[in-house]
């Protein structure tokens, strides 16, 4: 089971540091000024190995707020907006790609999504 943290990091493009919030496991991103945000758009983007490892080291040390920090690829749109860089990160940002189980309202009746 190689987690992204264990795979060799190749800085081939822009990256962010992401983790899960300790209290509830929510997906969070490290900002340039050393905080955490749930908004990918506010994440600190790094482009060099040095900057990446520095950002990651600080994140890993922040054990009391975040768990399992690692470097994740991102893509930048022409306007400069930050988008997830692979399917796994897309899923982490947007949630499961499937509808969560629905609640039947009545026999044969319309199903209501939660």
Q: DSSP assignment of 58-113, as one string?
A: HHHH-TTTEEEEEEEEEEE-TT--EEESSHHHHHHHH--SSPPPPEE-STT--EE-
Which residue stretch of 39-47, 49-57, 75-83, 88-96 sits at the interface with other proteins (rule: CB under 8 A)?
88-96
- The yes or no reply on residue 88 touching other proteins (CB under 8 A) is yes
Contact between 96 and other proteins per CB under 8 A = yes
Which two three-digit tokens encode residue 72? 């994740």
CA 17 to chain centre: 8
Between 78 and 96, CB nearer to other proteins: 96
97 binds other proteins (CB under 8 A): yes
- Tell me whether residue 1 or residue 79 sits nearer to other proteins (CB atom): 1
Q: Which residues are at the interface with other proteins (CB under 8 A)?
A: 1, 3, 20, 22-27, 63-64, 67-68, 86-88, 91-92, 95-98, 100-104, 107, 114
């Amino acid at each position: 089971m190689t987690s992204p943290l264990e795979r060799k990091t190749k800085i081939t493009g822009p990256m962010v540091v992401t983790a899960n919030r300790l209290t509830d496991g929510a997906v969070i991103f490290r900002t340039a000024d050393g905080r955490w945000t749930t908004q990918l758009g506010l994440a600190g983007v790094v482009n060099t190995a040095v900057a990446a490892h520095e950002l990651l080291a600080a994140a890993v040390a922040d054990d009391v707020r975040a768990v399992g920090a690692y470097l994740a690829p991102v893509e930048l749109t022409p306007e400069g907006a930050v988008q997830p860089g692979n399917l796994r990160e897309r899923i982490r940002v947007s949630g499961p790609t499937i509808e969560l189980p629905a609640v039947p309202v009545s026999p044969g009746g319309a199903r209501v999504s939660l």
